[in-house]
Amino acid sequence: MTSIAIIGGTGMNQWPGLEVLERRDLDTLYGKPSAPLLRGRVAGCEAWFLARHGEGHKLPPHAINYRANLRALKDVGVQQVVAIAAVGAIAPWFAPGEVAVPDDLIDRSWGREHTYSDGQPGSVLEHVEFTHPYAPPLRAALLAAAAAAGVELGRAGVMAVTQGPRLETPAEIRALQRDGADMVGMTGMPEAGLARELGLDYACLAVSVNWAAGLSPAGAGIHDEIHASIEAGMDKVRRVLAALLPRLATSAEA
């Protein structure tokens, strides 16, 4: 059974090099996931792949059916999820084009279906423990894979999650700085929380694609910055994943 899944975000709506073995169009108790699940082989190992924003990258962050996405992965036997996220850089060490593995988060999203404990028939109220929102063993595997692939990662970092789809104001970024955020994205929650409720190990590879509002060098256009940074960052992501999958497959067999 293939127990590893990659959720691709902006810049990784497709997984170059993935040999697709199966395309599964699922329905769940919470509706359909963003896209069909693809089971494929890369770096000699099998994994599931799900395009978070849908085929063609059409779904905005607030409209993604996160509950269906995670439930669908659980239903096909996934146990470990690596989420790819394109983010804005707040910390000075996280320049565009760099990659990090965050270890904590701040949730500023709202109005999203964020739990399976929704009071519906059959649901169970569960207060999941969230001291470590990203699974430490999976984070450690990502760090080891990056070292093996020769990819230098930024320090751990705190991910702030905003509602989107608009980008943040400079005042909002200053507030997030005061709260301790190192990076800002739009999809990390409720994804991480739902994974925890389902008992899935979840970690994130965050790709810095632009300086957050108010932090860009004078004259830098944010969309030009994103286009210039995203491919360099995603190349590093693909290298880390190629080194990660054999490690996870080996540990699953042990």
- Assign residue 152 the CATH number of its domain: 3.40.50.1580
Residue 28 tokens, joined = 């769940």
* pLDDT at residue number 217: 72
Residue 155 tokens, joined = 């320090």
Within 10 angstroms of residue 11's Cβ, the number of other Cβ atoms is 18
* pLDDT at residue number 253: 57
What range defines the domain where residue 121 resides?
4-253
Within 10 angstroms of residue 188's Cβ, the number of other Cβ atoms is 29
What 3-state DSSP class applies to 8?
Answer: strand
* pLDDT at residue number 230: 79
Q: How far is CA 200 from CA 71, 79, 171, 196, in A?
A: 10, 5, 35, 6
> Nearest CA to 44 among 100, 85, 4?
4
Q: Where does residue 27 rank: exposed (0-12), middle (13-18), buried (19+ CB within 10 A)?
A: exposed
* pLDDT at residue number 13: 61
Positions of the chain with pLDDT lower than 50, given as ranges: none
Q: Where does residue 129 rank: exposed (0-12), middle (13-18), buried (19+ CB within 10 A)?
A: exposed
* pLDDT at residue number 89: 95
Domain count, the chain: 1
Q: Cis omega (within 30 of 0) on the bond before 61?
A: no
| CA trace torsion 225, 60, 57, 239 (10° rounding) | 60
Q: Tens digits of per-residue pLDDT, 66-98?
A: 999 999 999 999 999 999 999 999 999 999 999
According to DSSP, the residues that pair with 154 across neighbouring strands are 100
* pLDDT at residue number 1: 59
Residue 222 tokens, joined = 């944010």
* pLDDT at residue number 245: 93
Paired sense of beta strands 183-185 and 158-161, if any? parallel
* pLDDT at residue number 156: 85
| HSE (side-chain half, CA atoms, 13 Å) at 28 | 22
* pLDDT at residue number 121: 74
pTM to 2 decimals?
0.92
